[in-house]
Amino acid sequence: MAKVDALIRWLMPKEERFHELFDRDTANLLRAAHLFSELARADLPTRRLRMGEMRELEHEGDNITRQIFDALNSSFITPFDREDIRSLASDLDDVLDYTEGVAQQLINFELAESPQELREFAEILVEMAAEIERVTELIWNLARQRELQQSIVRVSDLENRADVLYNKVIADLFRPNGRDPLEILKWKEIYEGLENACDQCRDYTHIVGNIIVKNA
């Protein structure tokens, strides 16, 4: 009888393990978004000084992603489809990679400015990361679908804001104004990275929406 009980426990979904890992992952992402917002407002020496903090958060995100994949490989049954869990983890990893990458580019390109558009993008990213953390907490209780859908819509609205901001800033960059072409290309890379981070946030909530439909 004891062996049967042990087998049943092994076959049961490892929901608590995945729940804990995704909680850690989204909290780590939100910390990175807040840090990026601070870096966006900082001068170049401060950006250089604090870049190590961002790298640590990115490394922690990589570590959690590996743990999620390990949990997938060692679990016979999972709380949601394996590919959905894998995609969720990959999207969180991508958002953090883009965020860390843009922070590093600000230093590599020696960009000391803190334009309003950069600060606005950083604010949008913080809001999106906060909604992602909320969505991820709610997903384990699909009875709260209304709250989930509200957060998903909120992320979509924020991504639309990011699209509008991106189109505006790119148009402004390439408007004839005598600006150094190399500086234009540098800032174009920065804003493309931020736009990609926001796109991945939206993709994350699309996967959550698919999970809701599959498990309704």
Domains in the chain, ordered, with CATH? 12-214 (1.20.58.220)
For the chain, the 3-state helix, strand and coil shares in percent, each to the nearest 5, are 85, 0, 15
Separation CA 131–CA 171 (nearest Å): 29
Listed residue (115, 136, 174) closest to 15, CA to CA: 136
Q: pTM above 0.85?
A: yes
In the 8-state DSSP scheme, what is residue 182?
Answer: H
Q: Please give the pLDDT value at position 183.
A: 92
Dist CA 131 CA 64 (whole Å): 19
Q: Output the DSSP codes for 6-22.
A: HHHHHHS--HHHHHHHH
Check: CB of residue 191 under 8 Å from CB of residue 166. yes
Both tokens of residue 186? 């540098």
Using CA atoms, how far apart are residues 212 and 216, in angstroms rounded to an integer? 6
Residue-wise pLDDT tens for the chain (216 aa)?
445 444 444 444 456 789 999 999 999 999 999 999 999 999 999 999 999 999 999 999 999 999 999 999 988 888 889 999 999 999 999 999 999 999 999 999 999 999 999 999 999 999 999 999 999 999 988 788 889 999 999 999 999 999 999 999 999 999 887 788 999 999 999 999 999 999 999 999 999 999 988 887
Q: Among all chains, which residue has been given the structure tokens 């640590």? A: 56
End-to-end CA distance of the chain: 34
Residue 96 and residue 29 in contact, taking contact as beta carbons nearer than 8 Å: yes
Structure confidence at residue 14 (pLDDT)? 53
Is residue 215 classed as helix, strand or coil in its secondary structure?
coil
